[in-house]
């Protein structure tokens, strides 16, 4: 949804949210206002302390009787749940375009202070294992929450400031959204709750514009138009194509551990409130956001086992839950895979479909479980303040809404297959190639009452396979042109073409050996191919300057790596293309229109 909102508006939204974040952090250190809302005598406030209720920890005396600041409660029980809510319903693209930490990490780039050309290589240790690193940060962060950060406002404020500074530092050292992709502990959580796509998220397939979803973008000061600011810091990139990233990273090191481990860490985090206190009143009252006992690390860690201090009980509880969750879900995955084995599914499809099914149910479970707890202290307080009858209606309505949203997401996501995505991603390319390959009279004869654009991806594939006018030589040319389009428009790499076009090869009767031969021919003429691609890119993106370094289309950056085009060769080709009279004519017309 938000992918179509102009960047100039989103920039204002990000500024407002970033300033709001800074105000919230300031209130963690000094807040003379919100404690007034918690005074016992302020019965008009839904957050006033109800002295008739007694909240106890491990059979202690009643706690939480003193007025307190609402800033920590607002952050943990409103802002964090809102983030999960936005990601699941509106899609990862919506969150990435408004996330304050993502905004702060881009400050060095906007000031022109980032390290030019420094990105994290895919085959580096961090490129291969960043999911383990991010999950470790998440684990340590949740342990810190249960031990200190939840209820100590000053520590929470320092924690948030440190996180902001780290995001800016990473943005200074590396280009692009390296903080979001490789370091942010919330990034794996985004992946879990997004799945292939959010409930109302957009699809990068079928979009004619070069800038998709939450792709990095900037505004050209000369023309006032949006341009891609992508530096190809990660491939595949969830900001460019979330669903493509999902399917291609199903077998990425750490993906299974993050998906299954998150279920465990989520269960363990909320369960620990009961293991610590011996009741649920402590959590649902919101007392944990301001109670001093929660911030003491050497108090008894379990109500039933006081010999173990809290500093050991917290990581022990979360660690056991992560381990059990991973073990149980791996066994479930093995059981589901057995079903596909019995039905003679190819081994590759067995693994992909099995993971997709189990991952999907993990996401739905996480959604239901999280909103059984996340935000509940505030929802309960607001509902209770309206009266007993209205309280029941509000809570039931909220529960039904959460249940329906999860069910609709499950219904939409579970039947989804990688094959469906691959067909959709190449359907537009197939249509274009069919138009180029076949005269209009043949297309009208084959499709007398329907336009080529109206065909579904499956119908386009069937048409490609069954057209008698298409010879084997035509199919080879057709397939090679399609490979080019996949490299240019769908951000594929040369190595990924073999997998992404596998279904199409079967439909067109092209063998793996023929694919390799056609690819070698393409690589052999790489310099010529790159020149053609660069020329089309310049015409479509309309750069007004002649500095070749400003041309940072994602596909071009990846294609340069795949074809071994050096910076010097790229600059030389760019100068040649810009001198071309035809290119200059197109540029002039486009600039005059603007």
Residue 217 CA: distances (Å) to CA of 36, 182, 183, 191, 193: 44, 20, 21, 21, 24
Backbone angles phi, psi at 412, to 5 degrees: -80, -30
| pLDDT given for residue 172 in this prediction | 92
Place of tokens 């194509």: 241
217 closest CA partner among 110, 104, 114? 110
C-alpha torsion sign, points 498, 500, 504, 506: positive
Secondary structure class of 55 (helix, strand, coil): strand
| pLDDT given for residue 542 in this prediction | 47
| pLDDT given for residue 461 in this prediction | 75
| pLDDT given for residue 431 in this prediction | 80
Kindly give the confidence (pLDDT) of every residue in the chain, 594 residues in length, as a single tens digit, with 9 standing for 90 and above: 677 788 889 999 999 999 999 999 999 999 999 999 999 999 999 999 988 888 888 877 788 778 999 999 999 999 999 999 999 999 989 999 999 999 999 999 888 876 666 888 888 999 999 999 999 999 999 999 999 999 899 999 999 999 999 999 999 999 889 999 999 999 999 999 999 999 998 888 755 566 888 888 888 888 888 888 888 888 888 998 899 899 989 988 899 999 999 999 999 999 999 999 999 999 999 999 988 765 678 899 999 999 999 999 999 999 999 999 999 999 999 999 888 777 766 666 678 899 999 999 999 999 999 999 999 999 999 999 888 889 999 999 999 999 999 999 999 999 999 888 888 877 777 787 777 777 777 777 777 777 777 788 777 777 777 766 666 777 787 787 778 777 766 666 777 777 777 777 777 778 888 888 888 887 777 777 777 777 766 655 544 333 334 444 556 776 777 777 777 877 787 777 766 655 555 444 544 444
| pLDDT given for residue 455 in this prediction | 80
| pLDDT given for residue 270 in this prediction | 98
Alpha-carbon span 194 to 440, nearest angstrom: 42
Length of the chain: 594
Alpha-carbon span 166 to 158, nearest angstrom: 12
Burial (CB < 10 A; 0-12, 13-18, 19+), residue 556, is buried
Alpha-carbon span 381 to 70, nearest angstrom: 13
Q: Crossing angle of helices 187-194/125-144, nearest 10°?
A: 100
Alpha-carbon span 563 to 522, nearest angstrom: 10
Vertex 347, ends 497 and 513: CA angle to 5°? 40
pTM: 0.87
What is the torsion angle, in degrees rounded to the nearest 10, for the CA atoms of residue 355, residue 320, residue 368 and residue 356?
0
Beta-bridge mates of residue 227: 218
| pLDDT given for residue 62 in this prediction | 84
């Amino acid at each position: 949804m938000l992918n179509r909102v102009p960047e100039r508006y989103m920039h204002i939204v990000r500024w407002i949210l970033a300033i709001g974040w800074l105000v919230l952090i300031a209130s963690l250190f000094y807040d003379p206002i919100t404690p007034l809302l918690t005074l016992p005598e302020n019965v008009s406030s839904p957050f006033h302390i109800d002295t008739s209720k007694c909240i106890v920890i491990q059979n202690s005396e009643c706690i939480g009787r003193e007025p307190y600041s609402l800033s920590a409660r607002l952050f943990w029980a409103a802002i964090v749940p809102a983030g999960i809510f936005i990601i699941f319903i509106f899609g990862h693209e919506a969150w990435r375009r408004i996330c304050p930490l993502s905004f702060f990490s881009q400050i060095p780039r906007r000031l022109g202070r980032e390290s030019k050309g420094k990105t994290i290589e895919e085959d580096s240790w961090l490129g291969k294992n960043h999911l383990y690193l991010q999950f470790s940060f998440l684990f340590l962060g949740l342990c810190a929450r249960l031990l200190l950060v939840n209820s100590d406002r000053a520590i929470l404020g320092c924690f948030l400031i440190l996180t902001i500074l780290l995001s800016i530092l990473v943005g200074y050292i590396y280009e692009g959204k390296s903080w979001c992709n490789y370091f942010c502990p919330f990034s794996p959580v985004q992946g879990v709750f997004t799945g292939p796509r959010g409930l109302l998220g957009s699809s990068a397939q079928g979009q004619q514009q070069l800038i998709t979803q939450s792709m990095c973008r900037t505004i050209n000061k000369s023309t006032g138009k949006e341009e891609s600011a992508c530096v190809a810091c990660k491939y595949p990139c969830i900001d460019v194509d979330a669903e493509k990233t999902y399917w291609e990273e199903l077998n990425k090191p750490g993906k299974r551990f993050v998906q299954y481990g998150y279920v465990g860490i989520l269960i363990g985090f909320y369960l620990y409130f009961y293991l610590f206190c011996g009741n649920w009143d402590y959590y649902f009252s919101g007392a944990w956001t301001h109670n001093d006992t929660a911030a003491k690390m050497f108090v008894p860690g379990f109500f039933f086992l006081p010999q173990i201090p809290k500093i050991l009980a917290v990581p022990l509880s979360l660690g056991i839950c992560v381990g059990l969750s991973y073990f149980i879900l791996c066994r479930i995955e093995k059981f589901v895979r057995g079903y596909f084995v019995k039905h003679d599914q190819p081994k590759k499809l067995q693994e992909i479909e099995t993971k997709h099914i189990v991952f999907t149910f993990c996401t739905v479970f996480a959604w239901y479980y999280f909103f059984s707890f996340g935000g509940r202290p505030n929802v309960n307080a607001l509902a209770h303040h309206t009266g007993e009858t209205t309280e029941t209606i509000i809570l039931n309505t909220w529960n039904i809404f959460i249940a329906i949203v999860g069910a609709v997401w499950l219904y939409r996501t579970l039947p989804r297959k990688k094959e469906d995505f691959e067909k959709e991603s190449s359907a537009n390319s197939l249509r274009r190639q069919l138009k180029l390959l076949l005269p209009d009279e043949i297309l009208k004869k084959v499709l007398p009452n329907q336009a080529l654009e109206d065909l579904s991806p499956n119908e386009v594939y069937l048409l490609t396979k069954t057209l008698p006018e298409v010879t084997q030589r035509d199919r080879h040319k057709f397939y090679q042109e399609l490979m080019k389009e996949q490299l240019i428009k769908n951000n594929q790499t040369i190595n990924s073409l073999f997998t992404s076009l596998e279904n199409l090869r079967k439909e067109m009767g092209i063998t793996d050996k023929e694919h390799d031969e056609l690819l070698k021919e393409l690589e052999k003429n790489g310099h010529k191919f790159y020149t053609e691609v660069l020329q089309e890119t310049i015409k479509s993106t309309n750069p007004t300057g002649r500095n070749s370094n400003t041309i940072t289309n994602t596909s071009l950056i990846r294609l340069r790596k795949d074809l071994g085009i050096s910076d010097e060769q790229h600059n030389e080709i760019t100068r040649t293309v810009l001198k071309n009279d035809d290119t200059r004519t197109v540029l002039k017309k486009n600039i005059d229109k603007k």
